[in-house]
Amino acid sequence: MSEAENKAKELIEKFTKYFDNKNKFSPYDKDRECSNAKNNSENAKQCALICVDEILENTLYLTLQSKNHNTYKFWQEVKQILETKQID
């Protein structure tokens, strides 16, 4: 797994923990819990994309000033992974 893939997975895991904590159900409500897990994962992915977009927007200016395109390219790759790949 590449560094960008690891970062995408890390971001999704961090947001998923947030959504999981917000949606605690009774242990007897297994069906609701299972369907909600998928929604939590999708919500986490959307939040990760918002974060990466913000990072890209803010690093573009710095990248153009410093002529160092590595940081910007890294976050572009993370965004592409979030948009196109299924991350487990």
pLDDT of residue 69: 74
Model pLDDT for residues 35-49, shown as the tens digit of each residue: 566 788 888 899 999
Q: What is the longest distance spanned by two Cα atoms in the chain? A: 57
Model pLDDT for residues 4-22, shown as the tens digit of each residue: 999 999 999 998 888 766 5
User: Does 24 or 47 have the greater pLDDT score?
Assistant: 47
pLDDT of residue 42: 87
Spatial distance between the Cα atoms of 6 and 21, rounded to a whole number of angstroms: 23
Query: Where do the domains of the chain lie?
Result: 3-84
Spatial distance between the Cα atoms of 87 and 41, rounded to a whole number of angstroms: 10
pLDDT of residue 66: 67
